[in-house]
Amino acid sequence: MAKRGVLEHPKFSRLKTLLCVNKSTALGYLECLWQFTGRFTPQGNIGKYTDADIEAWLEWGGEEGKLIESLVVSGWVETDQMHRLLIHDWHEHADNTTKISLKRNGQEFLTCKKLSQQCLNSVSTVLQPPEPIPEPEPVITPPPVNLSPKGDILTTSPSTGEVCKSPQKRAKAPPASHEAIFELLPPSHVTQRIREAWANYEAVRRAKHWKPFTLIGLKGKAALLAKYPPEVAAEMIERSVANEWQGIFEPRGNGPPKGRVPRTMQQEFDEVMEVFRKRDEQQAKHEQNQAGKRAIQEVSLSLPNGDEANAQVIWEGST
**Domain spans of the chain, in order of start:** 10-116, 180-243, 282-319
The amino acid present at 19, given as its one-letter code, is L
| pLDDT at residue 255 in the model | 43
| pLDDT at residue 160 in the model | 67
| pLDDT at residue 34 in the model | 85
CA angle centred on 291, ends 289 and 295, rounded to 5°: 115
| pLDDT at residue 124 in the model | 45
Nearest one of 33, 53, 31 to 44, comparing CA atoms = 33
Phi, psi of 210 (to 5 degrees): -85, 155
Residue 172 CB coordination number (10 Å): 8
Dist. CA 4–CA 22, nearest whole Å: 18
Q: DSSP class of residue 169?
A: P
Nearest one of 2, 10, 52 to 29, comparing CA atoms = 2
Residue by residue, DSSP assigns 245-263 as -SS--PPTTSSSPTT----
**How many angstroms separate the most distant Cα atoms in the chain?**
143
Dist. CA 14–CA 20, nearest whole Å: 10
- Exposed, middle or buried: residue 234 (CB in 10 Å: 0-12, 13-18, 19+)? buried
Contact 67, 8 (CB under 8 A): no
Q: Which distant-in-sequence residues (6+ apart) come within 8 Å of 101 by Cβ?
A: 42
| pLDDT at residue 290 in the model | 86
| pLDDT at residue 145 in the model | 60
| pLDDT at residue 299 in the model | 67
CA 108 to chain centre: 37
Dist. CA 102–CA 38, nearest whole Å: 10
- pTM, two decimals, is 0.37
Q: Rounded to a whole number, what is the distance in angstroms from the first to the last CA of the chain? A: 117
In tens digits, the chain (319 residues) has pLDDT values of 566 677 888 888 888 898 898 988 988 888 898 889 888 988 888 888 999 999 899 889 888 989 999 999 998 898 888 889 988 888 888 888 888 888 888 888 877 666 555 544 544 444 456 667 777 777 777 666 666 665 566 666 666 666 666 655 556 667 878 788 888 999 999 999 999 999 999 999 989 888 888 888 889 999 999 999 999 999 999 999 998 898 899 887 554 444 444 567 777 788 888 888 999 999 999 998 888 778 767 767 766 665 566 666 665 666 5
